[in-house]
């Protein structure tokens, strides 16, 4: 009963959305389904193109995972530097924000020139679109420590670095996780855009090439896989967070 009550709402919502979508495409006719394929056509494509989709997925997944790791490491390092140095914060933070306004198409030729056509430039694009959330949430986490606690540590003669390790770093971890959860979702779309330039494989490339061939059901199947992957990564991170930081997890009372 409890299980049903928990899982019924999302299942019902999803079923309703698919139903409306199916009905709408049926109503519009066969030609329209080349623009927006109906759910059963997408399911067909998922089955028939499964080996192509799977091999494309493996490449895109690699880009997403490695790119997110780079983003987290880079974002964390930048956040620590921003936290410690006012000069660094003033010099670098505006550039970090500005970096988010740079369209991928502008970067693609330069990245191809520097890094070729392999996975390298894709990782750069994925990391570029997703490091921002890690920087912002980690900076916020690091500075969330009560100033009185820092005073207390000074009265205990703790050197600055030890205060960072014992207090600011653990206090920032929930923020790091929040940033990483946003980053994985953004990384997926980042990988798709990355594959639109100088690429010959991956789900993003598959979408790009399927649409002009009027294989819109295949393109949509790729989107479904990308969406599921984002949800899966987000869920995994949430599980790890709950296990690693039980003190930060406040169970919300379920209404009875």
Name the residues that contact other proteins, by CB under 8 A. Answer: 146, 148-149, 151-158, 162-163, 166-167, 170-171, 245, 247-248
107 in Cβ contact with 125 (< 8 Å): yes
d(CA 120, CA 116): 7
Query: Minimum CB separation from other proteins for residue 71, in Å?
Result: 25
| DSSP 8-state symbol, 103 | -
Q: How far is the CB of 143 from other proteins (least distance, A)?
A: 16
**What letter does residue 199 receive in the DSSP assignment?**
-
Q: Toward other proteins, which CB reaches closer, 72 or 172? A: 172
User: Given the complex with other proteins, which of 10 and 253 has the nearer CB atom?
Assistant: 253
Residue number, 39 or 170, with CB nearest to other proteins? 170
* Angle 212-110-128 from CA coordinates, rounded to 5°: 85
Compute the least distance from the CB of residue 37 to other proteins, in Å: 49
- Report, in Å, the least distance between residue 147 CB and other proteins: 10
In sequence order, what E strands does 102-169 have? none
H/E segment holding residue 237: helix 216-244
Instruction: Determine the Cα–Cα distance for residues 136 and 170; give it in Å rounded to an integer.
Output: 16
Cβ–Cβ < 8 Å for 182, 138? no
Nearer to other proteins, 151 or 242 (CB): 151
The whole-angstrom separation of Cα 42 and Cα 225 is: 11
| Nearest to other proteins of 9, 246 (CB atom) | 246
| 122 in Cβ contact with 61 (< 8 Å) | no
CB atoms within 10 A of CB 127: 25
What is the closest distance, in whole angstroms, from the C-beta atom of residue 168 to other proteins in the complex? 11
Smallest distance from other proteins to CB 220, Å: 44
Burial class (CB in 10 A: 0-12, 13-18, 19+), 17: exposed
Work out how close the CB of 141 gets to other proteins at its nearest, in angstroms, rounded to a whole number. 13
Print the SS3 string covering 123-135. HHHHHHHHHHHHH
C-beta atoms surrounding 60 within 10 Å: 26
Q: Pick the closer one to other proteins by CB: 6 or 162.
A: 162
Q: Of 107 and 158, which has the nearer Cβ to other proteins?
A: 158
């Amino acid at each position: 009963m409890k299980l049903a009550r928990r899982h019924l709402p999302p299942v019902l919502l999803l079923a309703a959305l698919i139903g409306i979508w199916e009905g709408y495409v049926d109503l519009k006719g066969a030609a329209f389904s080349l623009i927006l394929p109906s759910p059963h056509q997408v399911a067909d494509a998922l089955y028939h193109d499964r080996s192509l989709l799977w091999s494309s997925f493996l490449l895109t997944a690699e880009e997403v995972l490695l790119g997110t790791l780079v983003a987290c490491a880079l974002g964390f390092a930048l956040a620590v530097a921003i936290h410690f140095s006012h000069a660094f914060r003033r010099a670098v933070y505006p550039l970090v924000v500005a970096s988010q306004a740079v369209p991928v198409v502008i970067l693609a030729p330069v990245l191809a020139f520097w890094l070729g056509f392999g996975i390298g430039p894709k990782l750069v694009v994925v990391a570029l679109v997703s490091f921002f959330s890690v920087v912002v949430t980690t900076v916020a986490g690091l500075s969330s420590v009560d100033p009185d606690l820092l005073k207390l540590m000074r009265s205990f003669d703790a050197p600055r670095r030890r205060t960072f390790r014992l207090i600011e770093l653990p206090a920032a971890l929930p923020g790091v996780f929040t940033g990483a959860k946003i980053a994985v979702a953004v990384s997926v779309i980042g990988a798709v855009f990355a594959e639109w330039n100088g690429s010959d494989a991956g789900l993003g490339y598959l979408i790009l090439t399927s649409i002009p061939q009027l294989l819109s059901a295949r393109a949509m199947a790729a989107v479904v896989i990308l969406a599921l992957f984002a949800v899966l990564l987000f869920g995994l991170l949430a599980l790890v967070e709950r296990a690693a930081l039980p003190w930060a997890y406040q169970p919300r009372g379920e209404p009875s």
